[in-house]
Structure 1
Amino acid sequence: MEFQPYPFEKLNSLICGIQTSGERISLTIGEPQFNTPKNICEILRQKVEFLNKYPKTAGEGFLKDSMLNFLARRFNVALNPNELIPTFGTREVLFNFPQFYLFDKKNPILAHPNPFYQIYEGAAIASRAKSIYMNLTPQNGFKPSLTKEQMQDCDLVILNSPNNPTGATLSLEELKQWVEYALEYDFLLLNDECYSEIYSISKPTSILQACLEIGNERFKNVLALNSISKRSSAPGLRSGFIAGDSNILKPYLQYRTYVGCASPLPLQYAAAFAWSEDSHTESSRAQYAKNLQLAKEILGAKIPNLRVPNETFYVWLPVQNDLEWTKNLLMKENILVLPGSFLSRKNNKGENPGENFVRLALVYEESILKDALLRLQKWL
């Protein structure tokens, strides 16, 4: 297997040798810079004695119940216990689930957005799968699509709504259409919904809601992933889930007993509390909304038609020559961003939709971010 370097490895190579002075502001990684809420940390401290126990692969009942209740509160979706598996975050699922699902396919084909979270590509490589890149461009509103022929050929389609890095979000009607395609062309549809709780106006929709809307009550051919990392500023808890079609999840759970990704019990207790409690998410959600508004005001003054999303905490900023722009910004302003070409690939037409964009992760408190945005504005 031959994997491409991760975007941050490429970035380190790009900026190697660049000397700067003063404190650097990095807008590269989607890691919340707010403290994990104290009550979550306190649960973790209280339960540390359970480190002497082996955790179950399937997760404890109290953790699964907290996730099921979250789905019921947030999306009005009532799942049976066999329709959800707690996971060690979602990165491990995105990597190992395609290997499980595509193992018996003779010539597997996996479609995913482009640009993308690089684990999608890694999963395709590890699964010996051909990749179909669904280019996200300004012309298509950064929305993924496939031709009829591609859908006939696909075994697995990964969506990512709300999307990293573009911030674009699929509507309920668009998600319903994707579910209908999955049923008509008999491919498995997986939506990565890890940014569903970061929004400033309307709440993003789950693919599971779309299933119910069209009468797919058993979620045939459909799975959803979600994570606590962004919702609770707690990426270190490594708490996520995969939910949907129980006919697929049952053998996948058995497969997971060999993977060894069970979450330690103290983390499960803390995560269960976080999934069960909603008020702690409101302050960080409000801060991200302020950050996006700041970007709209400050950067929009130089780019009048700048598209700033209402979901996620990213701005997909158009620039000229993303690699040179990134280096020059670092040299002049000591601000580091992530070139869009590191997050995307050329498709079979030679098109790379990430070129001439950079990703800004607006994950800091207002005072730090405002300083960074004002310096960015000068450079624009």
Structure 2
Amino acid sequence: MNTLLERLHPYPFEKLNALFKDITPAQLSAISLSIGEPKHPAPQFVIDSLAQNFQHLSSYPASKGLPELRQAIASWLTQRFHLKNISAEQQVLPVSGTREALFSFVQAVINKDDDAYVVMPNPFYQIYEGATLLAGATPYFVNCTKDNDYLGDFDAVPSTVWEKTAILFICTPGNPTGAVMPREQLKKLIQLSDQYHFIIASDECYSELWFEQAPVGLLEVCAEMGRDDYKNCVVFHSLSKRSNLPGMRSGFIAGDAKVLAPYLKYRTYHGAAMPVQHQIASTLAWSVEEHVAENRALYREKFQLFQSELGHLLPLVKPDAGFYYWLQVDNDEKFAQQLIQQANIKVLPGRYLSRDTSEGNPGENHVRMALVADLQQCEQVIQRLKSIL
């Protein structure tokens, strides 16, 4: 077997299962706030589209995707991020969910002979690290802490690391912190990319779950800088969070055509093309905004409820965007164990989403709470927490 597999860490939920192994849950219905799996209803028009297009089960899908889907994505990007020009033919590529694409993108980019770094936030989505290790590269962690507004201090990254960096991963809005990277920081990173010749891969899967103001995106900043070629910049978006369609495995990567062309060549061998019926349904989903606004309203209502009912009992800080609370606690593992034992509520210890560094582990003594349950379950969570806090 590939010996690089030995370098992979257990996935966070494996660690969580081990943590709860000897815990007897409270005799209440289980409520999980540990995994970012949207529970709001899927749009009916998407369900109808899938039901009407099962004849395409007899067709192989093209790796590049349907022209109509690429055009729908390009149109959405243009409107959402105020782009002047993006080519549906050369600068957009549908993928089978961004998890698959984030992983395969690293395999396509990394030159194994370069002894390269992949710079990433800490805490982070573990796919960034796993993809890096299996590509034979080295992760370099940028700690995202309260002191830097959970945005990371990229000025502290040594030039010796930037010189060997192949990819910089950013996640905005952040998972798990919900922090949105501002324009000026994105501009600075683009300038660093020009200086050191690395690719910026921006994971923007939570971009549509905002409360007050729509988050800025990497391609949007490129356009503002007059970089319509989006040189060395790519973004990843998904229907999972935006449209409550995690099971459809539908997303896209967009940006620099010179990066996407060889990545498409890789994908023709990788064999992860999205099924045709899913592409047709995705074309509709990217073309309709009403259900997205309704989705935002549901999350807004839940966060307001938690703030008003529990804000005096827990240090709840409403995120800039997304559906996670990144909650500071005295001990993240003990807090998670106590919630299971006393209330049968599952949350994820922050240390499972981050790595130890010389400055410490930035996820330690935090827990991630995903407000993905429906309103009724969220009300149950609130009542249970009130009874034990």
Shorter-normalised TM range: over 0.9
User: Which AA in structure 2 matches 1:153?
Assistant: K
Does 1:210 pair with 2:215? Answer: no
Corresponding residue SS for 1:82? coil
Cα drift, residue 148 of structure 1: 4.6
Contact persistence 1:176–1:213 (CA under 8 A):
no
CA distance in 2, matches of 1:259, 1:151: 29
TM-score in terms of structure 1 length: 0.96
Does 1:153 pair with 2:164? Answer: yes
CA distance in 2, matches of 1:163, 1:377: 28
Corresponding residue SS for 2:216? coil
Match of 2:76 in 1: 70
Mark the runs of 5 or more structure 1 residues left unpaired by the alignment. Answer: none
Does 1:11 pair with 2:16? Answer: yes
Q: Spell out, residue by residue over 1:280-335, the C-alpha distance to the aligned partner (whole angstroms, 9 max, x if none).
A: 111111011111222222332124x5321131000001111111111111101111
CA distance in 2, matches of 1:128, 1:145: 25
Match of 2:44 in 1: 38
Match of 1:308 in 2: 318
TM-score in terms of structure 2 length: 0.94
- Residues 289-328 of structure 1: pairs in structure 2 closer than 5 A: 289-303=300-314, 306-328=316-338
CA distance in 1, matches of 2:226, 2:260: 20
Q: Which of 113, 117, 136 pairs up with 1:109?
A: 117
CA distance in 2, matches of 1:103, 1:58: 24
Match of 1:187 in 2: 198
Contact persistence 2:239–2:250 (CA under 8 A):
yes
Q: Which of 77, 95, 99 pairs up with 2:103?
A: 95
Cα drift, residue 17 of structure 1: 2.9
Corresponding residue SS for 1:229? helix
Does 1:367 pair with 2:372? Answer: no
Q: Spell out, residue by residue over 1:240-279, the C-alpha distance to the aligned partner (whole angstroms, 9 max, x if none).
A: 1111111111111011100010111111111111011111
Q: Which of 139, 145, 150 pairs up with 1:142?
A: 150
Q: Spell out, residue by residue over 1:68-127, the C-alpha distance to the aligned partner (whole angstroms, 9 max, x if none).
A: 111012112231120111111110111111111013552010010111111011011111
Cα drift, residue 137 of structure 1: 0.6
Contact persistence 2:72–2:287 (CA under 8 A):
yes
Instruction: Give the aligned length.
Output: 378
Corresponding residue SS for 1:23? coil
User: Which AA in structure 1 matches 2:353?
Assistant: L
Match of 2:366 in 1: 357
Calculate the aligned-residue CA RMSD, in Å. Answer: 1.3
Q: Spell out, residue by residue over 1:45-72, the C-alpha distance to the aligned partner (whole angstroms, 9 max, x if none).
A: 0001110000001111111111111101
Q: Which of 182, 186, 202 pairs up with 1:175?
A: 186
CA distance in 2, matches of 1:311, 1:350: 27
Q: Spell out, residue by residue over 1:216-238, the C-alpha distance to the aligned partner (whole angstroms, 9 max, x if none).
A: 22111111110111111011111
CA distance in 1, matches of 2:232, 2:388: 47
CA distance in 2, matches of 1:134, 1:306: 24
Cα drift, residue 378 of structure 1: 4.2
Corresponding residue SS for 1:133? strand
User: Which AA in structure 2 matches 1:31?
Assistant: E
CA distance in 1, matches of 2:350, 2:385: 17
Corresponding residue SS for 2:114? coil
